[in-house]
Structures are given as structure tokens and as C-alpha cells.
Amino acid sequence: MKRTILTITLSAMALMSFAQTSPNGKIKAETQDHHSLVVSYKSNAGWQTIYRAEIPGLQEGSQQPISVKYDMISGKRLHIDKKGKESVYAMQNGGVLKVRIFNDGVAFQKVSRESTGYNGECETPIDLSSSTNSWIMKWSDGAEGFYTLNQNMKAGDRWSVPALFEFPNNVFALLHESDIHHDQAASSLYSTDKRGVFRIVTDNNKQFAKASSWKVLMLGSLSDVVESTLVTDVSTPSKITDTSWIKPGVVSWVYWAYNHGSNDYNIIKKYVDMAVTLKLPYVLIDAEWDEMKDGKTIEDAVKYALSNNIDPIIWYNSSVGWVNGAPGPKFRLNKPEDREKEFAWCEKIGVKGLKIDFFSGENNDNMAYCVDLLECAAKHHLTLNFHGATIPRGWMRTYPNLLSTEGVYGAEWYNNVPTFTKRAAAHNATLPFTRNVVGSMDYTPCAFSDSQHPHITSHAHELALTALFESALQHLADRPESFYAQPQAVKDYLGHLPTVWDETLLLSGYPGKNVVMARRSGKTWYIAGINGTDEPCTLTFSTKRMKKMGKHVTTFQDSGDKQNPWNITIGNKVETSQQCVARGGFVMVIE
């Protein structure tokens, strides 16, 4: 459709603003004085300003309705069909600003003139200073840290997206970005000397991109934010036509228990056998498989898995991040010709997916490398899981063979530092409102025993994480013996656990305190809740928005007895008030 940009005189510009509202009338984006774009939200108290971006020279532009309809292979919602609006504003540099508005938020993208591009400049000063609270993570190249409430900030500090902000009248906004292409770098936030005022800065980019990424602001109640699909709504549609070979699922995983990779064939066999016993589809053969002991090779391990009808996933070092002192195999994927050879070999011997680790940040080199990996892997019917990598930015729609990404301070940190033990429960109760909103999160949940450092979350808390945290590849962290020791109902639960969802609903919660989430797979609902505090609590929630619930309810709770930790009941009613021990939880399966 041809768009017309209206040119108006400077005197008229000073008197006019141009606004668009979401279909439900609750979100408004408008120009003010033609040098800023302001996003407001209509709560019960009236309109309140949420976000202001300084973009000089904005001029009134065209507006048209849009619709977004697509299917996902992974994520919180598999079928998306929604309405919105798009406006296009002229900017003083000759480019245009696209603004898309939906009931769950607003997305912005700058498109340059032919002769210029975006290669690492400060894109936009933004103001969220009307917020009362924020949960933001300090930037790191592997995106592993805590989303701390009201971080102490000084000018020039670098922060990761997504960033969550709370405003008066129970309004929340989650700022992120989406749709990174081969010629782009990712963005992060830099604090200024004013609270709540940031610069959005694109990382180093040697290329000139014709357009910026989409910056997305998910906006509304906490449930509006958590349930939002805005990140994938603005992403490029899938570039893979035949996706029949892409299979999400639960994975048995060796590293957590041993703080080591997979150079021992006999240990790999134990985790294959665990997958068989628990009826899991996958086993991950982790780092160091290129140094297998006792004359065995990776091909022996793959053959053993396949002979037991378990699909193998194998690990690679990306060889761009941590290289010296890091495990291998290394330098097999960096050059196109080597990558092609390696992926063809993986496909030939029956490997179904790869876990690629240790990237080095969000600059264009890393982003282009990830895209190259995704495209080459798709040619050879290989799924990918990026570790030590940046947070998802919509690639799971464009490249649905990307089934998960780490980009989270996850359970493997029980192997690394003692501080994770005391902070894990509150951290777990923050992630559903921050990191996991924007894409699959390979936290590697569900450990009933201890690794190098103990955990103090309860058994039901750990089990609840498997449904609370969305990841198309859900790696179970604990050792086989620990899973075998659990009641049969727990083992059956893990063997039937979905990893993709037709529907996701936030039923109650507050970041860092507690959360209750409902997810539906087919006709089965899962309700998972956790207590993120050090005191017992009662979690209450409503099921009014859950349609077509069955009446066969299995509930997994904590007994409070260390010797017999489980309280598992079967009934025909969903109890919407759940008593939780300190750092406890519960999960219900409704069939």
C-alpha cells in the first residue's frame, strides 16, 4: 500500500500533534511539539504519561489499520491473530519513524534514507521517569544477572533489555527490542544523571543498516505485559517453509550434577537411560565430547541414544566468546565451509539439534554469526539452542529452529557461586515478569538434590518451574538417581510435560514476591505457582479466564516434611487458594 507523508509548514507544526490509539482505546502514541513521541495509558485514574522518546523533526504522517496473524512452533501462544494500527512519521533527517500500536503495547522502528544508515549511534533518549519502581539487569555479554528492584544507577551505566517499569495505578511497561537482521547490532540502555531517563544505544556495527530494530514497549496490567506477543508480532515471518522436522521437548542434561561435560561415555548412557525411563524425547551430550574416554567417540554416544529412540543434541563452543581455557569442541563453526561440513556430518549421524555456547555480546559480528548459524542449521534440519548468548529478540518466529536461548541467570549457577542459593527464589519469581516474557528461556529447572552449592527452594517450587518457565527445550537439571527417587506421579508428570503452549495466562503475582501462571496445551491446563519469599504465604488466584477446564485435577504441593516432602492429591476441583511454605510452590494438572 502506498503511504503519503504530509508536509506542513513550520508555523502549523508548532500548533499540531498527531495521535493514534490502540483498538481498545487504552494506549495512545502521539507527537508533541514535533520533537518527541509520547506514549500514554488510560487507567481507572485517566490518562498518564508512560514513555517519551526524543526524536526531533517529527511530522504528521499516514495512518492505517493492520492485522497480524501467524503461527508459532514455540512460545507462550502458538496461534496469534490481532488487530492494530500503523503510523508513519517523517523525521528531520529524511527518514521515517514507523509506529505500530496494539492492545498490548507499542513498537517503533526508524527507517533511514538510502544514503545513510544506523551503525552504532545513540538512537533515542527516552524518559520513563514517571515510573515508581523498576526491575533492570546490569548488562553482560551472556545476559546473566539478577533483575534487581530499583537498581542504583549512575550516568553511563549499561543495562540490559528487557527492562520492567511500574507506574501509578497498577500500570506496568516492559521495554525490549525485536527483529535483529544480519546487518544490525542489538541495543542496550545507558543511564543518565536523571532517574528513569536513558539512552537507547545500538552496539558496535561495521555495517550500515537500512532500518533500526523494532523497539517494543509492552504496556498495561501485569497480565497484559506477561501475556504479550509484541516481540514476535513485529518480527520477520518465518524463513523456513518446511518445519515438520522441528520438535520441541524435554531433555535429560548431564552438566548440572557433575559440573562437567560429556567426555565419559558411561555417564552419557545414564542420561540416555534416564530419558528412556522418564519418557523424555531428548538427551543433551554436553561439552568435551571431542575428548571422550575409553576409546569411545561421539558417534558411539549418538548411536546409543538413537538405538533407544532418544534424539541426541550435542554441544559446541561458538569460539567467539570464552575460548582460552574453555571446553571444546572449538573452531568448527566459524568459517562457512567448516560450518557446512560440521552440520552436514551432524545430520548424517542422526544428531537432531545443537547447543552452541559462549558468544561475546550483542555487536553486529555476533548477531550476523547467529543468523548464519540459524540459516545453515535449518538447511541440515538441525534445531539450535544458544547459550552464553544475548536475550531473544524475535528470532524464534523468523527462524523457528531456534528452540531456546539461555540469556538468564539459571540453575547452573548453583555450580558457580554460593550467592545464588539465597537469591534464587526471589529471582525465580521475577523472571516470569521480565526475561521469560520475551522468549524461550533455558533456565534448566527442576533440581531436587544439590550440586556444588545447595538450593533451599522446595520440591514443589522446583517442579513448578517446569511449567512456570517457558522453553521449547526444557532441560531437567538433576541427576538420574534423584528423579528415580521421586513418586511415580512426579515421574509421570515429567514424562507428559509439554514445552510449548496454546495459551498462557498470568493469574496473580508481583515481581520478586510470587507468581501464579496458567498454561494450556491442547485440552490440558497447567497451573504453576511459586513463593519467592522466605516466609510462608497463601497464593490466591482466579480461574475465570481459563476456558474449557477439565475436572480431573492432580495437585503437587509441599508437605513441609523433609523426609516425605510431597503432598500429591487427585480431585475434581481447582483450589484457588494455595498454602506455600517459604520458597515453596505448587503445580496443578487439569485434564
Hunting for cell 512460545 — which residue is that? 75
CATH architecture assignment, domain 10-233: Distorted Sandwich (2.70)
Residue 195: all three cell numbers together: 532517574
Domain(s) of CATH 2.70.98.10: residues in the chain: 10-233
> What's the confidence (pLDDT) of residue 8?
30
Residue 350: all three cell numbers together: 542422526
Q: Which residues of the chain have pLDDT under 70?
A: 1-17, 114-123
> What's the confidence (pLDDT) of residue 118?
53
Residue-level length of the chain: 591
Q: Are 187 and 346 in contact (CB under 8 A)?
A: no
> What's the confidence (pLDDT) of residue 10?
31
% of the chain surpassing 90 pLDDT: 87
Rounded to an integer, what distance in angstroms lies between the CA atom of residue 329 and that of residue 103?
A: 46
Q: What is the CA radius of gyration of the chain?
A: 24
> What's the confidence (pLDDT) of residue 122?
54
- 456-512 pLDDT, tens per residue? 999 999 999 999 999 999 999 999 999 999 999 999 999 999 999 999 999 999 999
Residue 152: all three cell numbers together: 542504583
Rounded to an integer, what distance in angstroms lies between the CA atom of residue 506 and that of residue 545?
A: 10
Rounded to an integer, what distance in angstroms lies between the CA atom of residue 580 and that of residue 428?
A: 15
Which DSSP helix (H) or strand (E) runs through 299? helix 298-307
Residue 519: all three cell numbers together: 498454561
Q: Which CATH superfamily is domain 244-407 in?
A: Aldolase class I (3.20.20.70)
Q: Which residues contact 150 (CB under 8 A, 6 or more apart)?
A: 133, 134
Peptide bond preceding 65 in cis form (omega within 30 of 0): no
> What's the confidence (pLDDT) of residue 3?
36
Instruction: Write phi, then psi, for 372 (nearest 5 degrees).
Output: -60, -45
The string over 205-240, giving b where at least 16 C-beta atoms fall within 10 Å of a residue's C-beta and e elsewhere, is: bebebbbbbbbbbbbbbbbbbbbbbbbbbbbeebeb
Rounded to an integer, what distance in angstroms lies between the CA atom of residue 120 and that of residue 201?
A: 7
Rounded to an integer, what distance in angstroms lies between the CA atom of residue 585 and that of residue 457?
A: 9
Domain(s) of CATH 3.20.20.70: residues in the chain: 244-407
Amino acid, res. 90: A
Instruction: Write phi, then psi, for 113 (nearest 5 degrees).
Output: -70, 165
Peptide bond preceding 168 in cis form (omega within 30 of 0): no
Rounded to an integer, what distance in angstroms lies between the CA atom of residue 338 and that of residue 351?
A: 17
